[in-house]
Amino acid sequence: MKGVVFLGERKLALQEFPDPTPGPDDVILEIKASGMCGTDLKAYREPFVPGVVRGGIKRSETPVIAGHEPCGVVVEVGANVSERRARVGQRVMDHHYQGCGVCRHCETGWRQMCVDGAIVFGSVDHGAHAP
Ligand SMILES: [Zn+2]
Ligand SMILES: [Zn+2]
């Protein structure tokens, strides 16, 4: 699978990555659209500095697939994902933060405030500028 990577200083590249496979609690999306916003433009324009924290978001140590405003269709579900939670063919948009899932913030839907620190897709882990 190819994904768009921001190299910094207004350069980007299409790089090859392994196709994703779902963990037990994950789903895989076929991306239908992936937005660009001001956060993306900062990452696109600034030099890539591995691990730097800007605006409260830590950049990855190595380039990751950019894009944090995706929508798509569920194409695969993990072993622990019930039909009630997500099913193949379901159209979804994805909140681009992943937390621990059990702290008071995660349990009330505020994963970006996770007490363990949130993973930000498109900055810290792979995002959605990819199929
Ligand atoms: Zn955004
Ligand atoms: Zn949490």
Closest ligand relative to 113 C-alpha: 2
Report the candidate in 31, 27, 131 with the shortest Cα–Cα distance to residue 76: 27
pLDDT tens column, 50-103: 877 776 677 788 889 999 999 999 999 999 999 999 999 999 998 889 888 899
| Half-sphere CA count of 36, side-chain side, radius 13 A | 8
Ligand 2 mean position, distance from CA 112 (Å): 8
pLDDT for the residue numbered 15: 97
pLDDT for the residue numbered 17: 95
- Domains of the chain, residue spans: 2-120
Average pLDDT of the residues in 25-46: 92
pLDDT for the residue numbered 22: 96
pLDDT for the residue numbered 89: 98
pLDDT for the residue numbered 130: 97
pLDDT tens column, 103-125: 999 999 999 899 988 888 998 88
Model's pTM, two decimal places?
0.85
Closest ligand relative to 109 C-alpha: 2
Average pLDDT of the residues in 26-54: 88
Closest ligand relative to 118 C-alpha: 2
Tell me the residues surrounding ligand 2 (ion) with CB < 5 Å.
99-100, 103, 106, 114
**pLDDT averaged over every residue in the chain:** 91
Fold of domain 2-120: Quinone Oxidoreductase; Chain A, domain 1 (3.90.180)
pLDDT for the residue numbered 55: 67
